[in-house]
Amino acid sequence: MNRALEMRKKIIEDSPTLFESMFPLPQVLHTHNLNFKIKGLTGKAVEVVGLGELRKKDSAMVWKLRVILPLLLLLATAIAETETETETSSEEEEDRIISRFQQYLKINTSQPSPRYYEAAEFVISEGKALSLEWETVEFVAGKPLVLLKWEGGNPDLPSILLYSHTDVVPSEPPKWAHPPFSAHLDSAGRIFARGSQDMKCVGMQYLEALRRLRARNFRPLRTIYLAFSPDEEIGGHDAAEKFAHSDLFRRMNVAIVLDEGLASPGPRYRAFFAERSPWWMVIKAVGAPGHGSKLYDNSAMENLFKSIESITRFRASQLDLIKAGLKAEGDVVSVNMVFLKAGTPSPTGFVMNLQPSEAEAGFDIRVPPTADPESLERRIAEEWAPSSRNMSFYLGQFKQKTPVHDKSGKPLLTKTDGSNAWWGLFENAVQKAGGKLGKPEVFPAATDSRYFRQLGLPAIGFSPMANTPVLLHDHNEVMEKRKVKTLIVLRID
**165 marked as part of a ligand binding site:** yes
Site mask, Zn ion, residues 191-220, x = CB under 5 A? -------xx---------------------
Among residues 414 and 463, whose Cβ is nearest to Zn ion?
463
What is the Cα–Cα distance from 206 to 122, expressed in whole angstroms? Answer: 14
CB of residue 448 to Zn ion, shortest distance in Å: 8
Most distant CA atoms of the chain, gap in Å: 95
CB of residue 444 to Zn ion, shortest distance in Å: 12
**233 marked as part of a ligand binding site:** yes
Among residues 231 and 260, whose Cβ is nearest to Zn ion?
260
Active site residue 6: no
The torsion angle over the Cα atoms of residues 236, 238, 244 and 246, rounded to 10 degrees, is 180
Element (H, E) at 482: helix 481-492
Among residues 109 and 299, whose Cβ is nearest to Zn ion?
109
Give the bridge partners for 478, in sequence order: 192
DSSP code string of 155-204: TTSPEEEEEEE--B----GGGSSS-TTS-EE-TTSEEE-TTTTTTHHHHH
Q: Which of 20, 126, 167, 406 is catalytic?
A: 167
CB of residue 35 to Zn ion, shortest distance in Å: 49
Among residues 264 and 307, whose Cβ is nearest to Zn ion?
264
Tell me, rounded to whole angstroms, the distance of Cα 420 from its chain centroid.
Answer: 18
Residue nearest to Zn ion (CB): 198
**473 marked as part of a ligand binding site:** yes
- Within positions 408 to 467, which residues make up the interface with Zn ion, using CB under 5 A? none
Residue 366 · residue 401 · CB < 8 Å: no
CB of residue 409 to Zn ion, shortest distance in Å: 28
> Which residues have CB under 8 Å from 122's CB, separation 6+?
103, 104, 107
Q: What is the DSSP letter of 326?
A: S
**198 marked as part of a ligand binding site:** yes
In degrees, rounded to 5, the angle at the alpha carbon of residue 220 between the alpha carbons of residues 11 and 145 is 140
- Within positions 249 to 268, which residues make up the interface with Zn ion, using CB under 5 A? 260
| Residue 401 to residues 3, 39, 121, 279, Cα–Cα distance (Å) | 54, 52, 35, 4
Among residues 198 and 477, whose Cβ is nearest to Zn ion?
198
Q: Which of 20, 126, 208, 232 is catalytic?
A: 232
Element (H, E) at 310: helix 300-323
| Residue 156 to residues 17, 49, 140, 336, Cα–Cα distance (Å) | 21, 20, 30, 47
- Piece of 126-134, 175-183, 190-198, 363-371 that binds Zn ion (CB under 5 A): 190-198
238 binds Zn ion (CB under 5 A): no
CB of residue 194 to Zn ion, shortest distance in Å: 11
Among residues 168 and 332, whose Cβ is nearest to Zn ion?
168
CB of residue 188 to Zn ion, shortest distance in Å: 25
Count the site residues for Zn ion by CB under 5 A. Answer: 3
What is the Cα–Cα distance from 478 to 134, expressed in whole angstroms? Answer: 30
Active site residue 167: yes
**260 marked as part of a ligand binding site:** yes
Residue 182 · residue 192 · CB < 8 Å: yes
Catalytic residues: 167, 232
Binding residues for Zn(2+): 165, 198, 233, 260, 473
Q: Which chain residues interact with Zn ion by CB under 5 A?
A: 198-199, 260
- Binding-site residues from annotation: 165, 198, 233, 260, 473
